[in-house]
Amino acid sequence: MRSRVASTDGPPAGAELVDVNRLNLGWLVKLRWASIGGQAATILGVEYAMGVPLPLAPLTAIVGVEVGTNLACAVWHRRRPAVRERHLALLIALDLMLFTGLLYLTGGPTNPFSSLYLVHLSLAALAVGPRFTWALVALTLACSAALFQGHVPLEMGGHDHAAMGHYGMHLKGMWVALGVAAVFIVYFLDRLKRALADREVELRRARERTARQERLAGLAALAAGAAHELASPLATIAVVAKELERSLAAAPAADDARLIRSEVTRCSDILAELAVDAGQARGDPPTSVRLGELIASVKLGLGDDARIVTQLDAALAAREIRTHVRLLTRALKSIVDNGLDAVGEGGQVRLEAQLLGDRLSLSVIDDGPGMSPEVLARALDPFFTTKPTGQGMGLGLFLAASVAEQLGGELQLRSELGSGTAVTLEIPA
């Protein structure tokens, strides 16, 4: 199981459609460049390689218009505009008319490449809705019909079409046009489907992040409310315990009073850190810390348990990182504490660190019983736990994943029954 998290919020209402239209515009720009290159190569090949005279000046002008409009579209696309279907339909309509102009100057309906109208209609069917698509179909039929009414015939040397083999050339041209149309359509459909699938994955992740943020907000509100409600009774208990300790200074029960004060202080500290545990970084600005000191503070916070084994060379231990130290420490303590619970008294938990370029990878690996696929699938869900009642709330891994999200990193979880569990927290260094 792998949990990837980021710091962005979910998309606003209506953003999905705008993103798809922008994606389609990007692909139209790319395909127009390919089309422009193919048209230029065809014009030059017919004129100079086949010796068929063409009106180069107006053809060059039409190709120039295509280049200019595509440059404008590329610049506009980079500004991340709110692209609508009508923008895409207008661009395809412009291409249809420019293509009709090229055909008008090169034989009209007798030009074998006239079948490439189908490419534009295929793009329209994918990029815009039915209303615009049918409008473009009507425009295509009108443009094609206009070519039958008038066009500039190709000068084929003034000899009989069939006798000079031009009909065979026409058939070969139709075969080439079919190949070009097939390549464009299949390539575009395949790439567009993959791009849309990737977009769906990103949108699903965004929705998951939004849901996670809502759960975190609820936890933060719960933590703040608990801290507020419990602060007064804990303060009262602390005062009474202090007075009791003074009155029993010479009695054996004084140790019990001191223990009560110590536990009350501990409860107060836990309440103060509830906001941090709920994923809030307030009061914890990014600071620099040596990696060795960070690992040591994690071990110290867990009572310097002998079952915790650290693997860190001297150079890496002295390396300074800048991060939200308190957040990161609490997340690591939660992960290591879960590992200690899993291994029991005779097990071992390894805490490893390594730098991967500009990212820091912190791994907690235990030799416990591991997780079943069903448990692994839910391990990052809030309030999910396999511990006995009263021994855990099921928030440790969930909050660690939330910390990774706040720090711009990710949490990776790997486990198999009988093979232990490895939790890796990767953040920017």
| Same structural domain, 218 and 199 | no
Beta-carbon contacts of residue 136 (< 8 Å; ≥ 6 apart): 89, 92, 93, 96, 120, 121, 124, 128
Task: Please count the CA atoms within 13 angstroms of the CA of 113 that sit on its side-chain side.
Answer: 16
Tell me the pLDDT band of 424, cut-offs 50, 70 and 90.
very high
Tens-place pLDDT, residues 87-115:
999 999 999 999 999 999 998 888 878 88
Q: What is the mean pLDDT of the chain?
A: 79
Torsion sign across C-alpha atoms 334, 337, 339, 342: negative
pLDDT value at residue 102: 94
| Same structural domain, 383 and 408 | yes
| Same structural domain, 344 and 419 | yes
Tens-place pLDDT, residues 343-383:
888 889 999 888 888 888 899 999 988 898 888 888 887 77
End-of-domain residue from the set 209, 234, 269: 209
Residue 282 lies in a domain: no
| Same structural domain, 217 and 139 | no
Provide mean pLDDT across the span 240-269. Answer: 78
Q: Is 157 left (phi over 0), alpha (psi -120 to 50) or beta?
A: left
Residue 249 lies in a domain: yes
Which residues form the domain of 259?
212-277
Whether the model pTM is above 0.75: no
Structure tokens that stand for 189 in this block: 């459909």
Structure tokens that stand for 261 in this block: 């004060």
Residue 258 lies in a domain: yes
Among the ranges given (106-110, 119-123, 230-234, 362-366), the one the predictor scored with the smallest mean pLDDT: 230-234
Q: How far apart are CA 121 and CA 134, in angstroms?
A: 9
| Same structural domain, 68 and 181 | yes
| Same structural domain, 174 and 219 | no
| Same structural domain, 36 and 58 | yes
Residue 393 lies in a domain: yes
| Same structural domain, 199 and 53 | yes
More confident residue, 41 or 380: 41
| Same structural domain, 228 and 335 | no
| Same structural domain, 202 and 222 | no
| Same structural domain, 204 and 218 | no
pLDDT value at residue 265: 79
Please state the domain count of the chain.
3
Tens-place pLDDT, residues 159-189:
444 444 555 555 556 666 656 665 666 666 6
